[in-house]
Amino acid sequence: MGFRFPKIASTKTSDIPKGYFAVYVGESQKKRFAVPISYLNQPLFQDLLTQAEEEFGYHHPMGDLTIPCSEDTFIDFTSRLSV
């Protein structure tokens, strides 16, 4: 029996599986997600990171990357990316 990890998953622990990185998503209340590293090669995801950089700079008070969009928008956006 193998362990399957979804494309993205909400996570509350500091344990991020190998091949994933953590981001915080949300406008006022932030939720932590594990995202596949392969998304870093996606031009649309790179654009999203550029927008996050413009809004938050490189200082991320939560420790991980912060994406300035709603949770629903982020899930919809990432569901359109190919891994």
Kindly report the backbone phi and psi dihedral angles of residue 33, in degrees, each rounded to the nearest multiple of 5, phi listed first. Answer: -125, 145
- The whole-model pTM stands at 0.71
**H/E run at residue 32:** strand 31-36
Query: What confidence score (pLDDT) does residue 79 get?
Result: 86
Query: What confidence score (pLDDT) does residue 13 get?
Result: 57
Per run of 10 residues, the mean pLDDT along the chain (length 83 residues) is: 47 75 84 90 88 71 74 87 69
Query: What confidence score (pLDDT) does residue 2 get?
Result: 36
Q: How many CB atoms lie within 10 A of CB 42?
A: 17
Q: How many CB atoms lie within 10 A of CB 47?
A: 10
